[in-house]
Amino acid sequence: MGAAPASRDVTSYGMGLAVPLALFFLVFFVAPLLQLLWLSLHNDTAGLHWGLSQYQHFLTDPFSLGVLGSTLLLGAEVTLVCLMLGFPLAWLYQRVGPRLQTIIILIVLLPLLTSVVVRTFAWIVILGRQGIINATLQSLGIINTPLKLLYTQFGVVIALAQVQMPLMTLPLITALGRIDPNLDDASCSLGAGSWRTFFRIVLPLSLPGVIAGCTLTYAAAITAFITQSLVGGGQMLFMPMYLYQQASTLQNWPFAAAISIIFLLAVLAVVSVFTTLGRLSRGYGGT
Amino acid sequence: MIINRRSLLTTALTLGAMKAFPGLSYAQARPLVFATFTGSWEEAHKAVLVPAFRKANADATIVLDPMLSVDQIAKVNAAKANPPIDVMLHDPGPALVAIGQDLVEPYPIEKSACYKDLIAEAQEPMGPAPFFQVVGLTYNPEAVKTPPTSWADLWKPEFKGRVGITNLNSTLGTGWLVEIAKMRGGSEANVDPGFKALEELKPNLAAVAANPGALATLFQQGQIDISPGNFNAIQILKARGVPVEFVAPKEGAIAFKTTIHIVKNSANRELAFNLIEAALTPEVQATLMNPPYLIVPTNSKVTMGGEIARVLAKDTAELKQKFVFQDWKKINEQRSAWIERFNREIKI
């Protein structure tokens, strides 16, 4: 083994080391994606006639657009719930002793350690007609007939929020941990109240974490096939189920490919909105 | 031995390649691959069919690769010249798709010892049916005191908010809709009456499950009390102690021929044939008919017994009279349009 020349540019290593992963992505991610695009540009299931009819079909069909819209909305709702519940938890984490911190981290990570299927089935047990919520409300005499929670939009949002919560909380904990606690005190000693300190100091400085958490939660929530179909049921159609139906049951691969490309672009658009917000927030946090 | 970077890399790459392309290491002798269905079917085939096959074939190696019919088709379609599956198992709808896409071989009837003993409905030249799946009414006997007798009972006002169905992604959902349409004067070519009936069913609907498996969960959770359901799926629930019963409606229980096929260009054609033969023998079918499997036999030499004789049919003659076989060729023609219509119209 020859020694590397002394004059070798240290920065050239970076590209070389990235080659294996780049090759992996090229073969197993970019190539299939191109194949998907190629397939979506055909008018027939056999893939013989070129054309844009699959896209035309989707984009001129109010029903398909409705499915896309409700999926994107679902993601927004789940993200909002996660943010509302996750932020106080992350904030609390930074203000308690080490023992409580361990407990909080354990609680946050615990869902990640069980399979999504198990977590989702737990929600079926909780939300069902004879589930924990209905049984409790009935025994307290608050309701007479069980509420319909399973197979509703509400049920899906709640279950998804719990399933995806770690993706929101972990970036928030990191972001809040990076804020110098002295800034709080400085703000208070300069006469700002707690709310003012929160909105002018803590929130802007934690925005990178908020953006990262929102992006992760959003992407995970809209593509969560298992939770969506188990808690949402068969009559609530979201993009992943729509895709599955077209690809698997109907074997209509070109239309399924077009759906996935459109879905991909829609998600990219939403994520780029998040990123733009993140870039703007960096300027805001600095002033 | 000195391990240098190059030899380490070579070894790693070789190992990696063998892992990624297992065909490299045993290109000549791939075991027979049988794509059965997941769940109880896999258990039954592993426990009964595989030992019977191996006994008759000098312990030939066989691999069960359970997956849905539609996934089997996709997998074989992706590698038609060198298919990764030798024997496919199909519901009636996907079977016709597989035949239409030229993925299966005609069954060598002249060589077969058991084919002629199958009841007429199970004799399919492109792949015989080793068993039937039966769909009837399933209900919770604790909540439903008088057992239902007809599909029409689902519309009774007493079941307001208690009925479960599945969407049309499944064979069960589609087959049931066709049956409902027939009950109201429609047919495989005209399910309009079925959709009208679904519209009237809405007040009673508690859930539209995404797949038949989810119906089981809904029964367990008390979310629904009555639904169209698969005879075999119910047996699993019953064995787990869930209060649920199956009844064949007076209009006739829907029977799906589950057909078994030799994949075209299979590298193990001979063994594939032998496996299918084993699945058709009266011995295997009789064993599968007993608990805990309760799989409906298709070989006329099998004497019906136990739960199947009690709930479904005592003999072949009664089976023919009580079972309804549907025309899936007609159903497939319009199925995608129905699925689309179901997507749009059935919101509860």
B220 plus B263 within the same structural domain: no
B200 plus B334 within the same structural domain: yes
* Cβ <8 Å between A235 and B336: no
Nearest Cβ partner for B97 among A131, A242, A251: A251
B73 contacts in A (CB within 8 Å)? 251
B121 plus B144 within the same structural domain: no
A232 contacts in B (CB within 8 Å)? 210
B211 contacts in A (CB within 8 Å)? 229, 234
Nearest Cβ partner for A237 among B73, B222, B343: B343
| B59-103 pLDDT, tens digit each | 999 999 999 888 899 899 888 999 999 999 999 999 999 999 999
Interface residue ranges in chain A relative to chain B, Cβ cutoff 8 Å: 1, 63, 121, 124-125, 128-131, 148, 150-151, 229-230, 232-235, 237, 241-242, 245, 247-252
Contact B62, B54 (CB under 8 A): yes
Give me B64's structure tokens: 């069960």
For residue B6, being part of any structural domain is answered with no
B210 plus B239 within the same structural domain: yes
Tally Cβ neighbours within 10 Å of residue B108.
Answer: 14
Query: Chain B closest CA to A248's CA: distance in Å?
Result: 6
B337 plus B230 within the same structural domain: yes
Question: Which residue shows structure tokens 């896209």?
Answer: A55
* Cβ <8 Å between A250 and B335: yes
For residue B42, being part of any structural domain is answered with yes
In this structure, chain A runs to a length of 287
* Cβ <8 Å between A125 and B221: yes
Nearest Cβ partner for A1 among B5, B68, B217: B5
* Cβ <8 Å between B97 and A249: no
| A197-228 pLDDT, tens digit each | 888 888 888 888 999 999 999 999 999 998 99
B217 plus B113 within the same structural domain: no
What is the phi/psi pair of residue B181, to 5°? -60, -45
Closest of A19, A21, A36, A63 to residue A255, by C-alpha: A36
Query: Element (H or E) spanning B202, and its range?
Result: none
For residue B4, being part of any structural domain is answered with no
B340 plus B230 within the same structural domain: yes
- Is the confidence at residue B24, as pLDDT, over 80? no
* Cβ <8 Å between A230 and B210: yes
Angle between helix B171-183 and B92-100 (nearest 10) = 110
- Is the confidence at residue B23, as pLDDT, over 60? no
A241 contacts in B (CB within 8 Å)? 210
B112 plus B61 within the same structural domain: yes
* Cβ <8 Å between A234 and B70: no
B195 contacts in A (CB within 8 Å)? none
The residue ranges of chain A whose pLDDT is under 50 are 1-4, 285-287
Domain count along chain B: 2
B268 plus B175 within the same structural domain: no
Nearest Cβ partner for B70 among A63, A232, A251: A251
Nearest Cβ partner for B221 among A1, A129, A251: A129
B60 plus B196 within the same structural domain: no
B162 plus B116 within the same structural domain: no
Residue A9 and residue A5: Cα distance in Å, rounded? 9
Got the DSSP string for B86-112? Answer: SEEEE-HHHHHHHHHTT-BPPP-GGG-
For residue B321, being part of any structural domain is answered with no
B299 plus B166 within the same structural domain: no
* Cβ <8 Å between A129 and B68: no
A149 contacts in B (CB within 8 Å)? none
* Cβ <8 Å between B167 and A252: no
For residue B106, being part of any structural domain is answered with yes
Overall average pLDDT of the B287-308 stretch: 90
For residue B46, being part of any structural domain is answered with yes
CATH number at residue B263: 3.40.190.10
- Is the confidence at residue B22, as pLDDT, over 80? no
Range of the domain at B205: 134-255+328-345
Interface residue ranges in chain B relative to chain A, Cβ cutoff 8 Å: 4-5, 68, 70-71, 73-74, 97, 161, 166-169, 206-211, 214, 217, 221-223, 335-336, 339-340, 343-344, 346-348
For residue B318, being part of any structural domain is answered with no
User: What's residue B1's pLDDT?
Assistant: 47
Residue A49 and residue B312: Cα distance in Å, rounded? 49
The pLDDT-based confidence of B5 (bands split at 50, 70, 90) is low
The pLDDT-based confidence of B26 (bands split at 50, 70, 90) is very low
| A2-28 pLDDT, tens digit each | 444 555 665 556 677 888 899 999 999
B221 contacts in A (CB within 8 Å)? 124-125, 128-131, 150
Domain architecture of chain A: domains with CATH: 63-286 (1.10.3720.10)
The pLDDT-based confidence of B29 (bands split at 50, 70, 90) is low
Question: Which region holds residue A246: left if phi is over 0, alpha if psi is between -120 and 50, else beta?
Answer: alpha
Query: Chain B closest CA to A131's CA: distance in Å?
Result: 7
User: What's residue B40's pLDDT?
Assistant: 82
Task: Name the closest residue on chain B to residue A126, using Cα atoms.
Answer: B221
For residue B119, being part of any structural domain is answered with yes
Task: Name the closest residue on chain A to residue B4, using Cα atoms.
Answer: A1
Question: Which residue shows structure tokens 């069954």?
Answer: B107
B223 contacts in A (CB within 8 Å)? 128-129, 150-151
